[in-house]
Amino acid sequence: MPYRTTIEPFRIKSVEPIRFTTAAERERALAEAGYNLFTLAADDVLIDLLTDSGTGAMSTEQWAALMRGDESYAGARSFARFERAVHDLTGMPYVIPTHQGRAAESILFRQVAGADSIVPNNTHFDTTRANVEQTGAVAVDLACEAARDLRSEVDFKGDLDIVGLRATIDEVGADRVPLVMITITNNSGGGQPVSMANLRAAREVCDEYGIPLFLDACRFAENAWFVTQREPGYAEHEPREVAREAFALADGCTISFKKDGFANIGGLLALRDPELAERCRTQLILTEGFPTYGGLAGRDLDAIAQGLQEVTDPDYLRYRVRTAAYLAEIAEAAGAPTVRPPGGHAVYLDAAGLLPHIPPHELPAQSLALELYREGGVRGVEIGTLMFGRPDPHGGPDTAAPYELVRLALPRRVYTQSHVDYVGEVIAMVAGRAGELGGYRIVGSLAGCGTSPRASRRSPVEGAGHDRPAPSRRRARECVAVEPRW
């Protein structure tokens, strides 16, 4: 293409105003929220990059599809259209709608996993891990070697560690591994893609041991786009063909349609095994609803069916993936290191790299996330010691998470390039005074705060709890925080 600018491949028909706040209003909102970005009123956020889940904009065709929604309890036309769209994409015969991704995970793992089981995944998303662990099973993350170095420029850092997979199965015995799961793209690993070669290698191992292979395919289209751009032999392929090939390698999948389904709600469990499908449907009826709507309205099923046609459009995917790369370039140029290479749905800022003066137990990634909001009303999410740190049994500081990241997730088709430029400027302002940012500490849980987090806040204590004096320019603030509730 002769032009430098990758434009948004749509024009805007309906607009939603966003609200500007003053620095004083944001400071007050932060204090009232107990320095927990999940507790802010969305109305106080200017650019909301908390998640790419359920936050996308629907197309004109999706809005039209809503009007075609058939709300019949059983056998609705909407289900037939939904089922056709899922068949066309995944080739899987048993199509079970759920209200969102985690409901599909819950139903699946209740059927296949138990106290003795081990479930390998490149990296479990939080809800996937929780649904595995709820059955008493152990969730094992087997990310490839390259994923461990945040800065390495490797094409498929989402790949599953195949050697580790084999070793894990050999160690525990194949009969204790009910399935192997691969998350495409690997959200918890930086939104990094998984190669088709890796999927095939995992398939071979699974065949060898007689274990089913499942995909957590929330971002299947973004993954397919990366394959066309990076994997030898796929340059001439359409993203839709690549996605179909990925699904063809799997025995089943769970999907949250709040991501690449272009929908605000919805999920899927799709299977090839009729007996497992029957058991899952029985469970579905207990918790989600009748098998032809599974917790969704007919109109939602229609919006998803349409979304699944649109999301593999190469013009959309080019713009989508370019947006994250563009924001990452601005951040890097401003001196804010990011997880390399940029993923499909988000930019992950490396707070440990930007704020080396804040130790993990003072929550550097939370400090950075709060500062982006304080500076410019931009909301991201901490993925560091606040989310993953564990209390020290001897009363010392929480054990540190392996990384201190702030995820800036990009809702689909929602923000324009000038919004992204603005976010870049906010990052640059904060990065320019990184040395002045201070740490935080947890002083309580929001659950204990009831509806008035302010009531349980105590005055900020300079350097309190630190094992060495705080540099004078740093502020030690209180952070009434709980682990984010996805």
Rounded to whole angstroms, the Cα distance separating 278 from 272 reads: 11
By CB under 6 A, which span of 24-32, 41-49, 94-102, 191-199 interacts with ligand F0G? 94-102
Question: Does the protein bind ligand F0G through residue 53 (CB under 6 A)?
Answer: yes
Distances (CA, A) of 326 to 7, 59, 190, 319, 428: 12, 24, 16, 10, 14
Question: Does the protein bind ligand F0G through residue 410 (CB under 6 A)?
Answer: no
Please return the burial class of 322, using the count of CB atoms within 10 Å of its CB with bins 0-12, 13-18 and 19+: middle
Question: Does the protein bind ligand F0G through residue 362 (CB under 6 A)?
Answer: no
Smaller CB separation from ligand F0G, 178 or 267: 267
Interior/surface letters 100-128, b for 16+ CB within 10 angstroms, e for the rest? bbbbbbbbbbbbbbeeebbbbbbbbbbbb
Closest Cα to residue 97, out of 284, 225, 239? Answer: 284
Question: Does the protein bind ligand F0G through residue 288 (CB under 6 A)?
Answer: no
Question: Does the protein bind ligand F0G through residue 192 (CB under 6 A)?
Answer: no
Q: Looking up tokens 């889940």, which residue turns up?
A: 53
CA angle 335, 339, 342 (to 5 degrees): 100
Q: Shortest gap between Cβ of 29 and ligand F0G (angstroms)?
A: 21
Smaller CB separation from ligand F0G, 53 or 323: 53
What backbone phi and psi angles, to 5 degrees, belong to 452?
Answer: -125, 75
Q: Which of 40, 46, 82, 102 binds ligand F0G (CB under 6 A)?
A: 102
Q: What is the DSSP string of 357-417?
A: TS-GGG-HHHHHHHHHHHHHSEE-EEESHHHH-B--TTSSSPBPPS--EEEEE--TTTS-H
Question: Does the protein bind ligand F0G through residue 264 (CB under 6 A)?
Answer: no
| 378-379 vs 47-48, strand pairing mode | parallel
Question: Does the protein bind ligand F0G through residue 122 (CB under 6 A)?
Answer: no
Q: Shortest gap between Cβ of 37 and ligand F0G (angstroms)?
A: 13
Determine the distance from the C-alpha atom of residue 247 to the mean position of all C-alpha atoms in its chain, rounded to a whole number: 20
Smaller CB separation from ligand F0G, 262 or 443: 262
Question: Does the protein bind ligand F0G through residue 256 (CB under 6 A)?
Answer: yes
Smaller CB separation from ligand F0G, 402 or 435: 402
Question: Does the protein bind ligand F0G through residue 298 (CB under 6 A)?
Answer: no
Question: Does the protein bind ligand F0G through residue 101 (CB under 6 A)?
Answer: yes
Q: Shortest gap between Cβ of 356 and ligand F0G (angstroms)?
A: 27
* Paired strand residues for 213: 180
Q: Which of 36, 128, 264, 366 binds ligand F0G (CB under 6 A)?
A: 128
Q: In this structure, what token pair is assigned to residue 466?
A: 């630190």
Report which DSSP code applies to 203.
H
Q: Kindly state the number of chain residues that form the binding site for ligand F0G, as judged by CB under 6 A.
A: 16
Among positions 209-228, residues that touch ligand F0G (CB under 6 A) are 216, 218
Question: Does the protein bind ligand F0G through residue 125 (CB under 6 A)?
Answer: yes
Smaller CB separation from ligand F0G, 98 or 444: 98
Smaller CB separation from ligand F0G, 100 or 338: 100
Question: Does the protein bind ligand F0G through residue 323 (CB under 6 A)?
Answer: no
Report which DSSP code applies to 141.
E
Residues lying near ligand F0G in the complex (CB under 6 A): 51, 53, 100-102, 125, 127-128, 183, 187, 216, 218, 256, 258, 267, 486
